[in-house]
Amino acid sequence: MSNPILWKNWFRHTDPEEGVYRLLRRVPIFADLAEAELRQIRDVMHHRTYNDSEPVFYEGEPGTGMYVIIKGNVRIVLHHGQPDEVEIVRLEPGDFFGEFSLLDESPRSATCIASGNTELGGFFRPDLMDIVDRQPKTGIKIVLRLADVVAERLRQTNADLRLTKEQLRSQAQKLEEAQAELDGFRSRGIVIERKPGSAG
Amino acid sequence: MVRFWLQTGAVTAVVATILYYVLQVKVISLPILIGIILSNILESFCIRLEGRGYERGKAVMIVFASFMAIAAGFLVLIGEALAGQLGSFADRVPLAASRVDNLVRSLQNLASSGLPFQVTVDVRGEIANAFAGMQASVLPEIPSIAVSLVIGILTVPIVTFFLLRDGRALKKTVLEAVPNRYFEMVTMIMWKVSRSISAYIRGVALEASLVGTVDLILISLAGLVTGIEIENIILIAAVAAMTNIIPFAGPAIGTILGVGITLFGADPSAMLVVAICLVIGQLLDNVVFAPLVLGGAVSVHPITVIVLLVLGGKIMGVLGMLVIVPLFAVTTVILHELYLGVRRHAMYLQ
């Protein structure tokens, strides 16, 4: 039998915080930060653990900041606890959510629930404001990146809105054409009746 | 309107009760309180140094060392002069008593000419009795006062330094103990309270310093211009600065005390000059300093101020009167933010 010591990875970094550091690297708002700055963010973040099905925050609750998933999963759901509850997305380690709450205390747009034993790293508005005061350069980098994220979401929302408007316009046009045709029939004395049992 | 008075009365009662019990433990609570106030004031300097690239530890060492050096220099330069002025007070009590007596006799004569009866007051006797009474009550307390002073002088720098160095870590440790359900709410409340209190403390400290400095300059200039010998200028300016902390009543108390101090000086005609200078200083404070520095961030109702002054005087004498109104303002901020935060999050706290 081979000696397990021979297989041990002696070069593996055993600092548990190193994993958090690597996770933070993947978060877009921290993308421009230097290594030292990223370690400062890691030191400032709040490490929280959640049990299975424990809520992280509720829909409509005033937002405080963002979370990065270190371990475990979370479910983002709408109308939690109601018959029309719907799961929007399930997030995994390395994912982040709630970054808009770094800007203001607007209500959370959905409920977040831990799935399994979950560890989250919380970065909140007080922490961001503190960094803006103490290290303005780092703070500006984060805020500019946050602005990028917000702008991108806005662009996506605008594109979706434009598409929806086009679809609505197209529907409205079809409705007008159908109405004009109906009026044409009526003017010629043709009566159009709804079939019994049909919808509408 | 009734609801407003009920609410104001209720809040005043609750906060005054809290402060009453906290301030009972004077020996411990006062140095810690001063340490908290100082650390709040010095925190802004540490933040500026960190913004320039200094590490937190180094920034704290630089700021704290600079503050201790300035405080020591201040005590050496000003403290000696102040101690001399205070020391001459005891010698000049008969002189001050005689001046007040002459003033009262003039007023009595003026009043008697218009009144059908005569009022006589033995001012010299009353002042002598009052001074003797003060000596009898203060002298036995001197050893305990000295002990409290030593404890305070040792405790305040230690509390200030460790709050500066470890304040953030302490906050983080406290937050780690908060259950997940209340974590976000408590984080925001702590931040808002800390921000409000820091802004208030720094604003009040800056305003008091400005008033004291302006009064010092005005009185010195007035003495030079008029040729009147005005003594105890530093003491008058210090009293005006400290009493300025008290809203509404503070400036009046400071002016009265300042004028009263001139009674112990060489030239009694300095009273009018000092009174004018203190009033000008107060005008500058109301028109320029207070709006710029405080901006009306925290306001206390005048009746509340009077109640608090009586309570503060009962608990800790003159020092209690000075600290109780700012303490009340700070406690009100804490309760206000707590109330708003809990109300905002209440429906989600299941």
Each residue of B97-109: pLDDT tens digit?
677 677 667 766 7
Q: Which of A41, A42, A58, A103 to mutate to test the interface with B (most CBs of B within 10 A)?
A: A58
Number of DSSP helices (H) and strands (E) in chain A, helices first: 5, 6
Statement: residue B85 has pLDDT above 70: no
Per the document, the length of chain A is 200
| DSSP state, residue B285 | I
Beta bridge partners of A67: A97, A122
pTM of the model: 0.72
CB proximity B314 to A under 8 Å: no
How many Cα atoms occupy the beta-carbon half-sphere of B212 within 13 Å?
17
* Whether A134 and B50 lie within 8 Å, measured CB to CB: yes
* pLDDT tens digit sequence for B261-308: 887 776 777 888 899 999 999 888 888 887 777 655 556 777 787 788
Q: Which of the residue ranges A27-31, A121-125, B71-75, B170-174 would you say has the lowest mean pLDDT?
A: B71-75
Q: Which of the residue ranges A16-20, A52-56, A184-188, B247-251 would you say has the lowest mean pLDDT?
A: A16-20
**Interface list for B 163-222 with A (CB within 8 A):** 168, 172, 175-176, 180-181, 183-185, 187-188, 190-191
Query: Taking a C-beta distance cutoff of 8 angstroms, is the pair B263, B235 a contact?
Result: no
Confidence at residue A4, expressed as pLDDT on a 0 to 100 scale: 42
SS3 state at A114: strand
Confidence at residue A144, expressed as pLDDT on a 0 to 100 scale: 93
Categorize the per-residue pLDDT at A13 as very low, low, confident or very high, splitting at 50, 70 and 90.
Answer: very low
Tokens of A61: 């609750």
* pLDDT tens digit sequence for B11-58: 667 766 766 666 666 656 777 878 888 888 898 889 888 888 888 889
Q: What does the mean pLDDT of chain A come to?
A: 85
Question: Higher model confidence: residue A15 or residue B186?
Answer: B186
Highest mean pLDDT among A187-196, B170-179, B243-252: B170-179
Residue type, B93: V
Tokens of B109: 């004569």
Categorize the per-residue pLDDT at A162 as very low, low, confident or very high, splitting at 50, 70 and 90.
Answer: very high
Q: What does the mean pLDDT of chain B come to?
A: 78
Q: Averaged over B141-155, what is the pLDDT?
A: 73
State the ipTM, two decimals.
0.74
